[in-house]
Chains A and B, each alone.
Chain A
């Protein structure tokens, strides 16, 4: 049997033949559609979980914030008439509370209950130093007392007193009616970021006091606005904004116009004229970036949602026969940024998007205070 006869036999037997439709045909078609929906739904849920975990991490404070310098104070009470500065209150002895309990007095620097007593500053040089200091402070205190006589107390003020023997400097002197005074001492500590167990005392040397800022400013990353175009097989242009959410991570969203052209069919029998889809897409991405000095490098990933799609061109074609850039698609891009100045930068972002990969080129505005 020749080939032509062989072929003709098949044509004769099968021409006009129609196989019966299986009874479960509709169920097969319906089941296939549900699989597609479920597939997209799982991807959307997965993306939502990733975003939710990132946002939760942003607002979860695991350690002690580093905004403030912790201050602890302790008050000691000094009875000007009967006691000296006390062991710890060496400063009072130095400042010479004056009167009977001055430095020279029993309760003063030379007294047993004075700071000198405890620390054994019994040398002549030390005593003379304290006398001088006390004399100076005595003048100041007298002036203060005369000014505020009759008041129960006054607000504290930074004195120019030299630090006491204990190395702790009084912050404020509060006068009371009974001529006793309360001295507030300040122990300054600060907490290292994120580590509540790490506390460090401010070293205060004799004659020095290092003043620290009350608040350590947080280093905030700025919000940026991108304008970009992408001359790819699915050319697009758009605007997007990146909002810092946690450390080097940002949430990126915006709007973009995508033009998807479908190729002329190569089938010589059926000719499909050129056309395109006009899409409006919403990207929802998470970005991570690192500073390079001259710019930044980062990775952006997430999902691009199609909000609207309309056909254009010579003939209208159904959506499903084109490259699947509609619906929801994953996005992964590498962001390379070059600073132009303080507020402007250029960026290039080669990206992968399902059946619509390309390179975005754009201008970035940095919102800086």
Chain B
């Protein structure tokens, strides 16, 4: 995926018009390339019947102790649809309309997937807090 992304960067380099940073443009090319690859696998955007409580987050202390790798592992453990929308919205900064057009879903589905992703991440972090001295 990285190789194909860089090939596309060098192929479409003439389309970079200097508007915004080069890093941001390269990032968007890579994201687009990754989405094309993911689209081939036809990810499921079905909502998983998890008992995710959309309530206040009670594990802030543990949350603050998690490093980047651990957070990445938590995100990788999400279902495909949840993970896609979470990454595009939170990490890449796309809005729901843009995500909907990129993933060929509705904006409502995008919002729902994001909410479910947040809830699932919270519950996982809270479960970590219950483990004795794991992150102490």
A13-B68, A14-B68 are contacts. A6–B118 as well, Cβ < 8 Å? yes
- Are B101 and A10 in contact, with the CB atoms below 8 A? no
Q: Is A45 close to B, CB under 8 A?
A: no
Binds A, one of B44-52, B55-63, B77-85, B128-136: B55-63
- Are B68 and A1 in contact, with the CB atoms below 8 A? no
- Are B57 and A17 in contact, with the CB atoms below 8 A? no
- Are A321 and B91 in contact, with the CB atoms below 8 A? no
**Cα-based distance from A10 to B89 in the complex (angstroms):** 11
Interface size bracket, B side: 20 to 34
- Are A1 and B56 in contact, with the CB atoms below 8 A? yes
**Cα-based distance from A29 to B7 in the complex (angstroms):** 15
What does DSSP make chain B's interface, helix, strand, loop or mixed? helix
- Are B8 and A267 in contact, with the CB atoms below 8 A? no
Query: Closest CB-CB distance, A31 to chain B, in whole Å?
Result: 14
A1-B56, A317-B11 are contacts. A269–B4 as well, Cβ < 8 Å? no
Q: Is A9 close to B, CB under 8 A?
A: yes
Query: Closest CB-CB distance, A328 to chain B, in whole Å?
Result: 19
Query: Closest CB-CB distance, A17 to chain B, in whole Å?
Result: 4
- Specify which chain A residues have a CB less than 8 angstroms from the CB of B69 in the assembled complex: 19
- Are A318 and B7 in contact, with the CB atoms below 8 A? yes
Give a binary string over A1-37; 1 marks a CB under 8 Å from any B CB, 0 the rest.
Answer: 1010011011101100101000000000100000000
Query: Closest CB-CB distance, A140 to chain B, in whole Å?
Result: 92
Interface size bracket, A side: 20 to 34
**Cα-based distance from A19 to B70 in the complex (angstroms):** 11
Q: Is A198 close to B, CB under 8 A?
A: no
- Are A267 and B67 in contact, with the CB atoms below 8 A? no
Q: Is A270 close to B, CB under 8 A?
A: yes
A266-B101, A268-B98 are contacts. A14–B7 as well, Cβ < 8 Å? no
Contact of A11 among B15, B36, B90 (CB under 8 A): B90
Q: Is B21 close to A, CB under 8 A?
A: no
Q: Is B42 close to A, CB under 8 A?
A: no
Q: Which 9 pairs across A and B sit closest by C-beta, in order of nearness?
A: A1-B57, A17-B68, A7-B90, A270-B32, A269-B28, A13-B68, A266-B101, A10-B90, A13-B71
- Name B's A-contacting residues (CB within 8 A): 3-4, 7-8, 11-12, 15, 28-29, 32, 35-36, 56-57, 60, 63-64, 66-69, 71-72, 75, 89-91, 98, 101-102, 104, 118, 121-122
Given A7-B118, A19-B69, A266-B104, 18 more contacts at CB 8 Å?
Answer: A1-B56, A3-B118, A9-B64, A13-B67, A13-B71, A14-B91, A29-B3, A266-B101, A267-B32, A269-B28, A269-B32, A270-B15, A271-B15, A316-B11, A317-B11, A318-B7, A318-B11, A320-B4
29 interchain pairs, CB-CB under 8 A? A1-B57, A1-B60, A6-B57, A7-B90, A7-B118, A9-B64, A10-B91, A11-B90, A13-B66, A13-B68, A14-B68, A14-B71, A17-B68, A17-B72, A19-B72, A265-B32, A266-B102, A267-B32, A267-B35, A267-B102, A268-B98, A269-B28, A269-B98, A270-B12, A270-B29, A315-B12, A318-B7, A318-B11, A321-B36
